Amino acid sequence: MAKLAVLSRETTLNLRLDAALKADFMAAAEAENQPAAEVLRSLMRGYVEEQRKRRFAAEARRQSQLIAGFRDEAEVMRWIRGASALKGRQ
């Protein structure tokens, strides 16, 4: 049976930063017995998750304001059904 090459999903990120900030960060990571790369990955995951939450909250606010402008509950329900049908097609 042929062996399949396993492709790494990892990539490299190069960035420039102040030397003092780098030294302070490296010292802080070392003081916590954490590899600096893992600390950065954790910070990045947290940032991405917060961005998702902010986008979700903004969309919820937009929809709430849209619905608040409707005249009655039946109109709101028609909008919800229509939006749900569109989402199901994606």
Please give the tally of structural domains in the chain.
1
Tokens matching residue 19: 């030397």
Residue 11 lies in a domain: no
Let me know if residue 74 belongs to a domain: yes
Whether residue 5 is contained in a domain is answered as: no
- Residues found in the chain: 90
Q: What confidence tens digit (pLDDT) does each residue in 35-81 have?
A: 999 999 999 999 999 999 999 999 998 888 887 877 787 887 887 88
Is residue 2 a part of any domain in this protein?
A: no
Alpha helices in the chain (DSSP H): 19-31, 36-68, 73-88
Q: What's the pLDDT band for 87 if we cut at 50, 70, 90? A: low
Q: Kindly report the pTM of this predicted structure.
A: 0.65
Domain that holds residue 47: 24-88
Task: Please tell me the predicted confidence (pLDDT) of residue 27.
Answer: 98
Q: What is the dihedral of CA 1, 9, 14, 55, to 10 degrees?
A: 170
Distances (CA, A) of 15 to 18, 19, 41, 77, 87: 10, 12, 14, 49, 38
